[in-house]
């Protein structure tokens, strides 16, 4: 079992760690308020927060198939039809960009950032890409499904995602029939989404594929529908269970396997803690997940209140994903989100396009986020942002007052940017910079840029 964190170890640094990992970080004032709640109330405030949905109205769009159907009814000439199709492709691209920026803004401003962080986790787990789906309406629908179930039981989420039109298009499930079941879909469900490689047989794949037949998409509505004529209703055997199994039955059978809870809990721990759990911890996490009814929110409560989550090997040892880097920076500098063009270009160059994971396996994360080229992008972007070259400029007097002594300035910057004391060597270099360059606005911007271009700043 996980070990509860003693109250004596609930420090401001622990509160900052919780806010960074459970959500996307915060300002010094937000960290202070979270710490003042006490540990358990702080965790509950994050995981149990409500949300004003009208703060983030859904982007206006309709299924691409519906638009194309309406277009065909116009009886246009060949040339006019091709020109309209070109405009529809441009509209799809525009709506995809709007959808990405909508989600980024929601991550930054949501009163329930922990739900957004969990939605980001599941987006990387049930990885689905817009390039193949080619319909932002479907991607938005999937995103809302992930959000609604992000902190709840796993089985209902799995059932909804296997019937999700975006996922169905991405893994070609919509044409699976009794005569030709889609075994690749069944394999991905077991290998990548629920059990991990080697914890099923080829016969299990073949039989499970038969259970997922008859799943269809109502293209014009962008919704799921079931075709009994195309479904295989005969007896099947999956993981030792026999009967006229449906896709939902297969999910229930899989979720009942102890391996499922261990596999998922390990992925959840790795996403939030930044390290793969050793086997004893993985076993403990899996057991905790099962005890909690495979409820992700309840598992996260156990993780966020555990001593293991605040161990030195976990705190400030996770490389920020590009999305985490961008949102946490906006919070730390207390600036609005960059413009759509700027933020999406930046994330693309850093290797994390929302709604476009590199493959069905999602993003690798960790050290894969960092290379010589992406580090240079981070460093250059930090300089532009600090100086207001790419949009809103931080209020340098608010976040770094000139009246502070050098020692006070270093402590303030360490807390705002790193949420921990600077390593001695970095602290000495920072003090030397202040001594040599003074505290003019330009010098303070230069120092912010330098600190945000350190290896320490890339960690959270």
Give per-residue pLDDT as tens, 212-259: 999 999 999 999 999 999 999 999 999 999 999 999 999 999 999 999
Mean pLDDT of the chain: 96
Give the confidence band of 53 by pLDDT, cuts at 50, 70, 90: low
- Choose among 314, 283, 300, 331: nearest CA to 122: 300
Mean pLDDT of 425-430: 98
Number of domains making up the chain: 3
**pLDDT-wise least confident of 70-74, 292-296, 318-322, 410-414:** 70-74
Q: What is the pLDDT of residue 238?
A: 98
| Whole-number Cα distances in Å, 269 to 21, 32, 121, 229, 252 | 11, 25, 11, 42, 23
Q: Is residue 316 part of a domain?
A: no
Give the confidence band of 58 by pLDDT, cuts at 50, 70, 90: confident
pLDDT by residue (tens digit) across 300-355?
Answer: 999 999 999 999 999 999 999 999 999 999 999 999 999 999 999 999 999 999 99
| Statement to judge: residues 277 and 417 lie in one domain | no
| Statement to judge: residues 251 and 103 lie in one domain | yes
Give the confidence band of 59 by pLDDT, cuts at 50, 70, 90: confident
| Statement to judge: residues 301 and 350 lie in one domain | no
| Statement to judge: residues 269 and 354 lie in one domain | no
Which backbone phi and psi does 111 adopt, to 5 degrees?
Answer: -75, -5
In angstroms and rounded to an integer, the radius of gyration of the C-alpha atoms of the chain is 24
Mean pLDDT of 356-378: 97
Q: What is the pLDDT of residue 72?
A: 86
CA of residue 341 relative to chain centroid, distance = 21
Of the residues 310, 344, 379, the one at which a domain ends:
310
Mean pLDDT of 295-300: 98
- Choose among 420, 439, 310: nearest CA to 21: 310
Q: What is the pLDDT of residue 73?
A: 87
Mean pLDDT of 106-134: 97
Cβ count near 144 (within 10 Å)? 12
Q: Is residue 221 part of a domain?
A: yes
Task: Give the predicted TM-score (pTM) of the model.
Answer: 0.97
pLDDT-above-90 percentage for the chain? 91
- Compute the distance between CA of residue 143 and CA of residue 63 in angstroms, rounded to an integer: 15
| Statement to judge: residues 265 and 370 lie in one domain | no
| Statement to judge: residues 95 and 197 lie in one domain | yes
Owning domain of residue 41: 7-47+257-310
Q: Are 152 and 158 in contact (CB under 8 A)?
A: no
pLDDT by residue (tens digit) across 128-150?
Answer: 999 999 999 999 999 999 999 99
Q: What is the pLDDT of residue 51?
A: 72
pLDDT by residue (tens digit) across 160-201?
Answer: 999 999 999 999 999 999 999 999 999 999 999 999 999 999
Q: Is residue 124 part of a domain?
A: yes
| Statement to judge: residues 115 and 236 lie in one domain | yes
| Statement to judge: residues 16 and 73 lie in one domain | no
Q: Are 59 and 103 in contact (CB under 8 A)?
A: no
pLDDT by residue (tens digit) across 368-386?
Answer: 999 999 999 999 999 999 9
pLDDT by residue (tens digit) across 263-282?
Answer: 999 999 999 999 999 999 99
pLDDT by residue (tens digit) across 78-104?
Answer: 898 899 889 999 999 999 999 999 999
Q: Is residue 343 part of a domain?
A: yes
| Statement to judge: residues 262 and 358 lie in one domain | no
């Amino acid at each position: 079992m996980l070990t509860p964190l003693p109250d004596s170890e609930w420090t401001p640094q622990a509160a900052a760690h919780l806010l960074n990992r459970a959500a996307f970080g915060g300002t010094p004032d937000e960290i202070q308020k979270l710490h003042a709640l006490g540990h358990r109330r702080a965790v509950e405030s994050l995981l149990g927060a409500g949300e004003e949905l009208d703060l983030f109205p859904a982007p206006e769009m309709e299924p691409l198939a519906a638009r194309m159907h309406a277009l065909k009814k116009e009886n246009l000439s060949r040339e006019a039809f091709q020109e309209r199709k070109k405009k529809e492709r441009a509209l799809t691209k525009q709506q995809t960009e709007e959808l990405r920026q909508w989600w980024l803004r929601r991550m930054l401003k949501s009163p329930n950032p922990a739900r957004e962080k969990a939605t980001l986790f599941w987006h990387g787990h049930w990885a689905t890409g817009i390039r193949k789906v080619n319909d932002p309406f479907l991607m938005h629908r999937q995103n809302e499904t992930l959000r609604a179930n992000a902190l709840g039981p796993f089985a209902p989420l799995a059932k909804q995602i296997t019937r999700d039109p975006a996922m169905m298009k991405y893994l070609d499930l919509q044409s699976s029939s009794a005569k030709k079941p889609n075994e690749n879909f069944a394999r991905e469900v077991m290998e990548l989404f629920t059990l991990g490689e080697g914890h099923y047989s080829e016969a299990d794949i073949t039989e499970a594929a038969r259970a997922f037949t008859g799943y269809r998409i109502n293209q014009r509505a962008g919704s799921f529908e079931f075709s009994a004529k195309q479904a295989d209703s005969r007896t099947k055997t999956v993981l030792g269970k026999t009967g006229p199994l449906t896709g939902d039955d297969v999910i229930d059978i899989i979720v009942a396997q102890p391996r499922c809870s261990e596999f998922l809990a390990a992925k959840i721990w790795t996403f939030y803690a930044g390290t793969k759990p050793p086997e004893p911890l993985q076993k403990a996490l899996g057991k905790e997940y099962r005890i909690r009814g495979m409820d992700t929110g309840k598992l996260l409560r156990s993780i966020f209140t555990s001593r293991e989550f605040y161990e030195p090997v976990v705190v400030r040892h996770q490389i920020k994903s590009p999305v985490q880097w961008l949102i946490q920076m906006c919070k730390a500098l207390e600036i609005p989100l960059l413009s759509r063009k700027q933020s999406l270009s930046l994330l693309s160059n850093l290797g994390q396009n929302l709604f476009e994971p590199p493959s069905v396996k999602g993003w690798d994360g960790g050290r894969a986020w960092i290379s010589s080229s992406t580090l240079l992008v981070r460093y250059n972007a930090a300089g532009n942002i600090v100086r207001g070259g790419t949009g809103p400029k931080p209020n340098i007097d608010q976040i770094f007052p000139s009246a502070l002594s050098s020692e006070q300035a270093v402590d303030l910057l360490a807390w705002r940017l790193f949420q921990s004391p600077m390593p001695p060597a970095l602290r000495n270099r920072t003090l030397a910079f202040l001594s040599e360059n003074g505290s003019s606005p330009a010098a303070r911007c230069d120092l912010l840029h330098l600190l945000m271009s350190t290896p320490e700043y890339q960690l959270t």
